[in-house]
Amino acid sequence: MTPDDLVTPIPPPPCHPVQQGALCGSARRQGALPRVTPASADAPSVQAPPREFRFRVRPARALVAGGAAGAAAGAWLWLRQRREQERQRRRREALRGLALTHADFRLRDQTGAPRAKSDFRGQWVLLYFGFTHCPDVCPAALERMGRAAAALERDPALPPLQPLFVTVDPERDDEAALRRYLRDFHPRLLGLTGSAEDVRAAAAAFRVYASAGPRDADGDYIVDHSVLIYLLGPDGLLLDCYGSGKSAEELERSVREHMRTYQPLE
């Protein structure tokens, strides 16, 4: 008999499925299994990448992110530029009907010389409708126009600008009255007058409202009228208009920008 014959074999346990959570929970409650920590785990440890490698990875990620952001910004700017070009194209198409050849007028300047709207084709024009007996609004508008024109004239890179004043009171504003009135403003300011019918046609071409008020005991009266300053481009397009709230400096900057970005009709 050998020592092995004295050992009674132990039968294997029955094969029953056991939930892992139940085993771990019951074993830990009974103290049968030690709590496994990273320090006591037998699994091979995964070492962190070297410090110099980690530092190389982070700038690379930043470069990728920065490149993606730059590409997105470039695409947005390109799309915005295309939309602006399309808007300008549609605007030019809509303004074709306001070209000089489609809405001409015939008046006289302060020297008596005939002037037609088509005479100013190829020029930049600032245009204002008013009357010489206006107490305050018209002189202020002509002063702003003159200051803006003088400032633009000091830049030799810019094309010349012609200021125009069209009366809405032809009954009192003949050539002599215009000469007396305009001498206090820009030296190149042209004043235009004509018959009542011709003046109405000129005002209608720019949708200008004008209506004479009641006369006082001396026969004097005030003319209610639109107070906009109009900017015409070399093709006769109505490019912009400015109310009484625009200063001479703002007027100058706007005209300068229009000159810089101007595109003629095709």
- Quick check: 127 and 170 in contact, CB under 8 A? no
Measure the CA–CA gap between 71 and 77, rounded to whole angstroms: 10
**Mean model confidence pLDDT for the chain:** 80
Q: Which residues contact 218 (CB under 8 A, 6 or more apart)?
A: none
Per-residue pLDDT tens digits for 194-205: 999 999 999 998
Q: Is the sign of the CA dihedral 115, 119, 123, 126 positive or negative?
A: positive
Percent of the chain topping pLDDT 70? 69
Measure the CA–CA gap between 182 and 60, rounded to whole angstroms: 70
For residue 144, what pLDDT is reported?
97
Measure the CA–CA gap between 110 and 103, rounded to whole angstroms: 22
pTM, two decimals, is 0.66
In the structure encoding, which two tokens stand for residue 128, read together? 């204002």
Average pLDDT over residues 88-104: 60
Q: Which residues contact 212 (CB under 8 A, 6 or more apart)?
A: 169, 221, 222, 223, 224
Average pLDDT over residues 160-177: 97
Query: How many angstroms separate the Cα of 204 from the Cα of each of 10, 32, 168, 201?
Result: 118, 104, 11, 5
24 marked as part of a ligand binding site: no
134 marked as part of a ligand binding site: yes
Measure the CA–CA gap between 97 and 133, rounded to whole angstroms: 33
Per-residue pLDDT tens digits for 11-54: 544 444 444 444 333 334 444 444 544 444 455 555 655 555 45
241 marked as part of a ligand binding site: no
